[in-house]
Structures are given as structure tokens and as C-alpha cells.
Amino acid sequence: MEKENLVEELKALIVKNLKLEDVLPGDIDPAAPLFGSGLGLDSIDALELVVGLEKTYGIRIPDEDVGKEAFASVNALTDYILRNKK
Amino acid sequence: MSGCVAIVTGGTKGIGKAISRSFIKKGIKVFMVFSSDEKAAESAMTELNSIDNIADVIKADVSDRNQVNAVIESVVNKTGRLDILVNNAGIIRDGLLMLMPDINWHRVMDVNLNGVYYCSKAVLRPMIGNRWGRIINIISPSALLGRAGQTNYSASKGGVLSFTRSLAREVARFGITVNAVSPGVIETELTGYMDEKVRGEFLSMIPVGRFGTPEEVSNAVSFLASEEAGYITGEYISVDGGLT
């Protein structure tokens, strides 16, 4: 249940944080890649998302290797946060 | 700009102190980072706090990542923000390349180039979080022209200029600008040690016909740090009397 809630929360956070005007949280496929294809986000967008996620969940995404793992998809991001949040 | 928070590395002496002073006069809270000269730090504190009681000093070596991260963290914890970073700390270890001790190459790179890397990297999270920031790097005519005896210094400063241009492009969309200021020969402690012959040689290369003042450098830094300069990024301003 916690995981499902977090998935929805993250979809909303991504849309709000990145000011995605043509995307609704419900449009985001939680299994699809966040960057590169799908939403069409670029790696610079990811910087702001990193800062927002670190602030909101008290996690740390220290470098791009961790970032790649965490941003693989909304599902992956959810798992990463559940494992690492304070 | 009142209420903003700035970090000025090498901020207690010479050009750095003039930059700190210009910020204080605008009501910007300044944390001056110094590496070793406690006496200069103390006198800068006394002088600047007499203008407005918003100056602070922190001792740290910018070439040490852990110390840099601790400085940025403590400033953000104390003030809740970080608006301006001036990467001014720098050292010179001049010498001809063929005879240069390796340590003089590496130390100059560690402070002048790696220091800019550590400090800039550490301020990005708070700046991106606030969607506003100013990073200003102090470079040198050596970065632009080259100068015999300064392969290490000019490589480090040229590196900082290129770094400035690339970082500017990474963070522009977050309201963060990254620029450089290149001071020519400025009247500081260092020029005081020059003998008349060397002074004359330098003066003959400067079209304006005199050395600059630290305030003339801080005027340019202060402008780049202002709201008005928000559309200038990835650029440098020479404050060198026409030298370059």
C-alpha cells in the first residue's frame, strides 16, 4: 500500500517539479524509462528532480551511477526511496 | 540584494576583500573563506562588520572536498540559502616549465581549478532548489594571452574559463548564471613587492597607464552578481585597463 501511494505521489511530484504542461500524473507509465524516451525529459531536467526528491524524502542521489538506477522508472524510483529514505 | 547570502573564497584579502566589502554594502551576508592567514581574517572581520554586521569568516582549504562540503553545508544550515559564490581563492607558483617541480604544477591545479570544481559543485543543490544563483570565477589575463613562467597558472585559469562556459549552459534554466572576471594588474599586497623596473614593464603594457584597484574589480563582480545581469552567462569581463 505504501508503495502504491508513493508511486502516485511521485508521478504528481514529477509533473509539478518539472512543470510538465502537457502531461497528467496518470499519463506516466510507472514501468517506463523517465529519461531519454517516454516523457522526453533530458538529463538537465533530472538535476531539478534530484534536488526536489532529496529535499522531500531526505534521500541522497550522490552521482550519476546512482541516478541511473533511481531514475530507470517511477517503479525503480519508488523502490530507491523506500530503501533509502530517512 | 539585501538578505542574500554569498560565499567569497579568498575573501579576506586584496581583491577578495574588496568583493566582500561591495556585497556587504549591498546588504548581502558574506562568508569569507580563508586558508591560513588568521590575522588578515580577523582584520577583515573588524573592518567589514563596522560597515554592517553581516560578515563572517570560515577557515577552509578549497582544494579539500570534505572541507568545502562542510563549509557549504554550514552556511546553508545557518542561513537557509546560498545565492552567490565567488571563486576567488588562487595561488601562484611561477616558474619555467622545464624546471618546474611537479608539486608546483599540482598545487596550482588543486587550488585554482579543483577548488573551483569542489565549490561550484557543492553550491548547485541549494541554488537549483531556489531557482536562482550567481557563480563568479576570478580568472586572469594569463588565461587569455599566456605568459612565460605561468604554464601552471595559465592552464588552471584557462581551465576555469572553459569550466565557466560549460557550467553556464548546464544551469541556465534554473536561473543560475556562471561568469568570470579577469583582473589585470591590480594594486594589492603583491604589487607592493614589485621593484620599479618590473612596475615600469607592466605599466608599458597597460593602455590605461596605471594599475587597477581592487574596487574596480569588485564593481564588475558586483554587477554580475546583481539581478540586472540575469541575461549574461558563460561570459567574462576583463578589468585590465586594456591589457588584453
Residues B130-155 have pLDDT tens digits of: 999 999 999 999 999 988 999 999 99
B12 DSSP assignment: T
Q: Which residues contact B75 (CB under 8 A, 6 or more apart)?
A: B5, B7, B31, B58, B82
**Is any Cβ of chain B less than 8 angstroms from the Cβ of A44?**
yes
Kindly determine whether residue A51 and residue B173, on different chains, have CB atoms separated by under 8 Å. Answer: no
Q: Pairing state of beta strands B176-183 and B84-87?
A: unpaired
* Percentage above 70 pLDDT, chain A: 94
C-alpha distance across the termini of chain A, in Å: 19
Catalytic residue among B118, B153, B231, B236: B153
A86: pLDDT strictly greater than 90? no
Largest CA distance in chain B: 52
Q: Which residues does residue B180 pair with via DSSP β-bridges, in sequence order?
A: B137, B236
Domains of chain B by residue range: 5-239
Write the CA distances from B211 to A33, A53, B86, B127, B236, integer angstroms: 57, 49, 22, 35, 20
Q: How many domains does chain A have?
A: 1
Residue A51: list chain B partners with CB under 8 A: 125, 128-129
* pLDDT < 70 regions, chain B: none
What pLDDT does B33 receive? 98
CATH number of the structural domain spanning residue A75: 1.10.1200.10
Identify the CATH number of the domain defined by range B5-239: 3.40.50.720
